[in-house]
A and B are shown apart, each in its own frame.
Chain A
Amino acid sequence: MSLFETALPLAMLGVLVLVLFSGFPVAFCLAGVGLVFALVGGMLDMFVPAQLFLIVSRIWGSIADNLVLVAIPMFIFMGIMLERSGVARHLLEILSVLMRRVPGGLALSVVLMGTIMAATTGIVGASVVMLALLALPVMMERGYDKGITAGVISASGTLGILIPPSIMLVIMGDLLAIPVGDLFTGAVIPGFLLSGLYLVYIVVMALLKPERMPRLEKKPMADGQSLLGLVIRGFLPPTALVVLVLGSIIGGFATPTEAAGVGAFGATMLAMVNRTFSFRLLKDVVQGTALTNAMIFGIFCGATLFSYVFRELGGDDAIVHLIELLDLHDWTLLLLLMAIIFLLGFFFDWLEITLIILPVFRPIVMALDFGDAVPKDKILLWFAIAVAVNLQTSYLTPPFGPALFYLRQAGQGYLTLGEIYKGIIPFTLLQLMGLLLCLIFPTLVIWLPSYVGY
């Protein structure tokens, strides 16, 4: 490949960063930069107009005609309904009362909520928006540091892509020809490990810098309210909802995607029980859902155009070429691959990255030898989960971390993007630590699948 051929797609990335900081909507910057470079490609005979038809194919075939993504609006609806009807507020109030002796109690409960939600969906947009709606106002009110709040919400909201069931793991299974069950069980320990790292970090920070996560001084109860009353009022309804949603999956009534609908329906019922439901409220929730949902899908549409043009201009080849050029072996190659995936994560979503990396590196990785550290037949599984952890991180890395955008938009009026960028850094480091642990101790990945007996 000539230097120019390598440079052109890389220039796309540079231009994108510059354009994004203009403050024009991210979705349309992605689309616009993609189209400008399609035009450049056209002038260099690398692109013909008919190829633009694939933009429509991609928006239709992978974003609209997609039964997984159906869960997103329903989860957003559930989040907004819980927030507007006061159910979420009651829950978090009671949680902060119950956990007032635990350092960083409120932040810990958000991580736990994120972990529970991760078992129902693998869709980051849905869970980040929902956690932001539920927890952000209360955390701000309680005087939590903005950075910590932003980090906790976005990191916990991305756990769903790792903890099964997860669309990402299914697609990776297809691309690598690994049974889905192996990937699902393999991801369990790393997923909980990350969740555990967040928890430890929160407790340590709460002890070292208590002013960033202030404890609740007095009980927020009005006179005559008993703790028991508060628990029944605040705790019972959302717990019933969680039982309903998880129960519908475990009981075999609903798929994980359908469970989002069950949750949205249940949240509406709760609002009715709470006597906060009205047509006015429903209209509010419906309009709010439509707007947030359109924001998320706007990014999907822009991103699919951008990564398509990047691929047509030889971006994938440039990356693969670069890696092959270095001609590395085993551990160094593995680390380089991880570093490249991490860097790609600044610009692309997981699907595009897996499409660049996995098919090409499947045979290469299978041929690697890590001695006694990893049995030969488990290398691919271990590699896949390490990639999955790495890709989860890509949701969080500025400037183009989708989870950060979702948080920014769902938390309007509370957080600026700058504050979110700053707050996410420690969590990105925790993610990298989790990734390193999985690489250094492959047992974390391969033990459970073997134990389950696959």
Chain B
Amino acid sequence: DSKVKWKMAATFPSSLPQLGTLGKRLEDQIAKVSGGNIEIRFYEPNALVPPLEVFDAVSMGAVDAAFSTPGFWGGKVPALQVFAALPFGPAAPEYMAWFYFGGGKEIFDEIYAKYGIKSVMCGMLAPEGSGWFKKEVLSVDDLNGMKLRFFGLGAKALGKFGVSAQLLAAPDVYPALDRGVIDGLEFVQPAIDLKMGFWQIAKYYYFPGWHQQSTFFDLMMNKAQWDKLSPTQQAQIESVCGDNVRYGIAEGEAIQLPALKELQEKGVTIKKWSDEDLKKLHVAVDEVIAEQVAADPDFARAYASFSAFRKDYATWKDIGYLK
């Protein structure tokens, strides 16, 4: 097979646990597995492409590949959000079961193919935290009038509780939280949030991350480049990515508790939403999803496939697993 030398644009820096390190791991592993025949070089965000521009760049063939999450493309291809993380969505085993065996992958491939992209799931994150708050939030009704930095489907759902979602420039987030322009924000998960230093200002960290249980990361590749690979090379990439999903889940589950302990030592209070609050949020999320389903046929199709699978799976989950 002819040697492959690709450039891969990342959407998170290599220094960030999981978000970046999983991409870096892909670079290392593919070189080893292929005996050096495939080189996929990791480029930091902005080094070649600004993070939110990688979809177009891969689609146009300006870079060969990008390490990202389908959740970034809600503004371009709303349906792809179904393949990143769903509010009140599944844990990793259920999500993978649907994706690999429940019809998810076929829809996923079909959607990306429209844009000249071949994508392979290539990482998975543990559940996220549901936000950092400066003041204790007693119930979701307390959120009314709060200014939060929040993103995506979750932001839309919180809007129904009177939350004002803020965009804010990256360097402004820290001073804005410090001075009270915003009352809180959502980022990722304990191990990553620890590095970002939000604990320096906000002392209440809420769980569970109802808006994002498990999150898929994917390797987007320019379809023309992918088609040029030999079957062996394609299998090598798919295998390494499959292994990256396994690695992401295992690592993600393992690194949270040490991080949580460190956060608690730094004076952070860990809080949990009550069941009642979660129910209210769930209702809001269902409304948001219904709006998305009505607005976009691809979203509707992908979500229908997932919902159908979930309904059947519930029976198995109920009898198969200990409570």
Report A-B touching, CB under 8 Å: yes
Contact flag A256-B172 (CB < 8 Å), given A67-B167, A179-B195, A359-B13 = yes
Q: Which residues of A contact B15 (CB under 8 A)?
A: 174-177, 359, 362
* A308→B50 CA distance, assembly (Å): 11
A24 at interface (Cβ–Cβ under 8 A)?
A: no
Indicate which residue in B62, B171, B179, B196 contacts A249 across the interface (CB closer than 8 Å). B179
Tally B residues with Cβ within 8 Å of A: 37
Q: Shortest beta-carbon distance, A82 to chain B, in Å?
A: 24
Tell me which residues from 26 to 66 in chain A have a Cβ below 8 Å from any Cβ of chain B: 50-54, 57-58, 60-62, 65-66
* A163→B51 CA distance, assembly (Å): 27
Contact B50 A170 (CB under 8 A): no
B44 at interface (Cβ–Cβ under 8 A)?
A: yes
The residue in B13, B49, B175, B201 that gathers the most chain A C-beta atoms within 10 A of its C-beta is B175
A448 at interface (Cβ–Cβ under 8 A)?
A: no
Contact A57 B56 (CB under 8 A): yes
Contact B200 A454 (CB under 8 A): yes
Q: For chain A, which range describes its interface: under 10, 10 to 19, 20 to 34, or 35 or more residues?
A: 35 or more
Contact A351 B181 (CB under 8 A): no
Q: In the complex, what residue of chain B is closest to A53 when comparing beta carbons?
A: B62
Contact B46 A54 (CB under 8 A): no
Contact flag A355-B44 (CB < 8 Å), given A54-B57, A66-B169, A255-B169 = yes
Indicate which residue in B47, B61, B169, B179 contacts A257 across the interface (CB closer than 8 Å). B169
Indicate which residue in A65, A165, A351 contacts B175 across the interface (CB closer than 8 Å). A165
Contact A181 B52 (CB under 8 A): no
* A255→B181 CA distance, assembly (Å): 7
Tell me which residues from 42 to 66 in chain B have a Cβ below 8 Å from any Cβ of chain A: 44, 46-53, 56-57, 60-63
Contact B174 A252 (CB under 8 A): no
Q: In the complex, what residue of chain A is closest to B166 when comparing beta carbons?
A: A255
Contact A252 B179 (CB under 8 A): yes
Contact A62 B171 (CB under 8 A): no
The residue in B16, B61, B169 that gathers the most chain A C-beta atoms within 10 A of its C-beta is B169
Contact A54 B63 (CB under 8 A): yes
B176 at interface (Cβ–Cβ under 8 A)?
A: yes
B269 at interface (Cβ–Cβ under 8 A)?
A: no
* A166→B46 CA distance, assembly (Å): 18
Tell me which residues from 64 to 118 in chain A have a Cβ below 8 Å from any Cβ of chain B: 65-68, 70
Contact A62 B50 (CB under 8 A): yes
Contact A180 B197 (CB under 8 A): yes
Indicate which residue in A176, A257, A355 contacts B172 across the interface (CB closer than 8 Å). A257
Contact A67 B57 (CB under 8 A): no
Contact B181 A454 (CB under 8 A): no
Q: In the complex, what residue of chain A is closest to B47 when comparing beta carbons?
A: A355
Q: Shortest beta-carbon distance, B8 to chain A, in Å?
A: 14
A172-200: CB near B (< 8 Å → 1, else 0) gives 01111111111010000000000000000
A142 at interface (Cβ–Cβ under 8 A)?
A: no
The residue in A52, A53, A68 that gathers the most chain B C-beta atoms within 10 A of its C-beta is A53
- What are 6 pairs between A and B in contact, CB < 8 Å? A252-B179, A256-B175, A308-B48, A311-B48, A312-B48, A355-B44
Q: A58-B49, A165-B171 are in contact. List 20 more A-B contacts (CB 8 A).
A: A50-B62, A51-B63, A53-B56, A53-B60, A65-B50, A67-B169, A68-B170, A68-B172, A174-B15, A175-B44, A181-B197, A181-B200, A250-B179, A254-B181, A256-B171, A256-B172, A258-B172, A351-B46, A362-B15, A454-B200
The 5 closest A-B pairs by CB, nearest first: A179-B197, A61-B50, A252-B180, A67-B169, A53-B62
